[in-house]
Structure 1
Amino acid sequence: MSDTGLDLAAGPADRARGHSRRGFGCLAVLLALAVVGIGLFVVVTRGVDYLDSRLNGPDDYAGEGRGSVRVTVKPGQTATDIATTLVAKNVVKSVGAFTQAAGADPDGDTIQPGVYTLQREMSGESALALLLDDSSRLEVQVALPEGLTTDEIVTSIAGQSDLRAADLRAVLRRPESLGLPAYADGQVDGYLFPASYTIGPGTSARDMLTMMVERFQQAASDLDLVARAEQQGVSPHDAVTVASLIEAEASRPQDLARVAAVIYNRDDAGIALQLDSTVHYIAGTSGQVFTTEEERAIDSPYNTYLYPGLPPGAIGAPGEAALEAALEPASGPELYFVTVNPSTGRTLFARTLSQHNANVARLRAFCRSSDAC
Structure 2
Amino acid sequence: MSNSQTEWWAPVEGNGQSADLFGGDPTSAQPPRRSRSGGRQREARQRKQRRNRSIVIVIVALLLVVGAGYVVVSLLGGMFDGDGTNKTATTKDFPGPGFGEATVTINAGDTGADMGAALADAGVVASAQAFSAAFAANSGAASIQPGTYSLLQEMKASDAVDALLNPASKSSFRVTIPEGLTKDQIVARINEKTLIPTKELNAALKDSKAIGLPSQADGNAEGWLFPATYDVQPDASAADVLKMMTAKTVEVLKDKKVAKDDWETVLNKASLVEREGKLDEDRPKMARVIENRLDQGWMLGIDAAVAYGAGISGTELTTKELQDKSNPYNTRALPGLPPTPIASPGEASIEAVLKPADGTWMYWCTVNPETGETVFSHTQAEQDAAQAELNAWITANGK
**TM-score by structure 2 length?**
0.73
Give the counterpart of 1:248 among 275, 278, 303: 275
Instruction: In structure 2, give the amino acid aligned to 1:244.
Output: S
Partner SS for 2:199: helix
User: Pick from 366, 371, 383: which aligns with 1:339?
Assistant: 366
Instruction: Kindly indicate whether residue 71 of structure 2 is the aligned counterpart of residue 41 of structure 1.
Output: yes
Q: Among 163, 170, 175, which residue is 1:137 paired with?
A: 170
Give the CA RMSD over aligned residues: 3.2
Q: Is the 8 A contact 1:189 1:314 kept in 2?
A: yes
CA distance in 2: counterparts of 1:351 and 1:39, whole angstroms: 82
2:173 counterpart SS class: strand
For the 8 Å contact 1:226–1:236, the answer to whether it is kept is yes
Question: What is the aligned partner in structure 2 of residue 278 from structure 1?
Answer: 305
Compared CA separation, residues 107 and 276, structure 1 to 2 (3 A): farther
Q: Match of 2:117?
A: 84
User: Which secondary structure state, in structure 1, belongs to the residue aligned with residue 366 of structure 2?
Assistant: strand
Aligned residue in 2 for 1:171: 204
* 8 Å contact from structure 1 (residues 176, 186) kept in 2: no
Question: Which of 246, 250, 253 pairs up with 1:217?
Answer: 250
Q: Which of residues 100, 112, 115 in structure 1 aligns to 2:148?
A: 115
Contact kept? 1:243, 1:322, Cα under 8 Å: yes
1:291 to 306, 311, 317: 317
CA shift, 1:173, in A, is 1.8
CA-CA distance at 1:131 after TM superposition: 0.6
Question: Per the alignment, do residues 370 and 111 of structure 1 end up closer, same or farther by CA in structure 2, a change over 3 Å counting?
Answer: farther
**Contact 2:279-2:372 at 8 Å conserved across structures:** yes
* 1: CA distance, partners of 2:69 / 2:337: 75
Gap change, CA 1:336 and 1:41, over 3 Å in 2? same
Q: Structure 1, unaligned stretches of length 5 or more?
A: 1-32, 50-55, 230-234
Larger radius of gyration: 2
SS in 2 for 1:99: helix
Q: CA separation in 2, counterparts of 1:39 and 1:252?
A: 63
Q: In the superposition, relative to structure 1, how do residues 127 and 295 fare at CA in structure 2: closer, same or farther (>3 Å)?
A: farther
Q: What is the alpha-carbon distance in structure 2 between the residues aligned to residue 169 and residue 102 of structure 1? A: 37
Q: Which amino acid aligns with 1:151?
A: D
Aligned 8 A contact 1:337 1:350 in 2: yes
* Identity across matched positions, percent: 38
Whole-Å Cα distance in 2 between the matches of residues 171 and 63 of structure 1? 43
Cα distance change of structure 1 residues 201 and 350 upon mapping to structure 2, 3 Å threshold: same
Q: How far off is 1:108 after superposition?
A: 1.9
Task: Indicate the SS of the match to 2:140.
Answer: coil
> Does structure 1 conserve the Cα–Cα contact (< 8 Å) formed by 2:183 and 2:222?
yes
CA distance in 2, matches of 1:264, 1:164: 40
Q: Which residue of structure 1 aligns with residue 127 of structure 2?
A: 94
The answer as to whether partners of 1:183 and 1:237 remain within 8 angstroms in 2 is yes
User: Given residue 297 of structure 2, which amino acid in structure 1 is its aligned partner?
Assistant: G
The alpha-carbon deviation at position 39 of structure 1 amounts to: 11
- C-alpha contact (below 8 Å) 1:75/1:143 kept by paired residues: no
Whether the aligned pair in 1 keeps the contact of 2:310 and 2:327 (CA below 8 Å) is: no
Query: Are the aligned partners of 1:115 and 1:137 in contact in 2 as well (CA < 8 Å)?
Result: yes
The yes-or-no answer on 1:73 pairing with 2:106 is yes
Match of 1:352 among 379, 388, 391: 379
SS at match of 1:117: strand
Deviations 1:332-366 (A, max 9, x none): 11111122222322211011122112212222333
**Is the alpha carbon distance of 1:364 and 1:117 closer, same or farther for their aligned partners in structure 2, counting shifts above 3 Å?**
same
TM-superposed CA distance for 1:297, in Å, is 4.3
8 Å Cα contact 1:336/1:351 also seen in 2:
yes
Distance in 2 (CA, whole Å) between partners of 1:151 and 1:219 is 22
**TM-score, scaled to structure 1:** 0.78
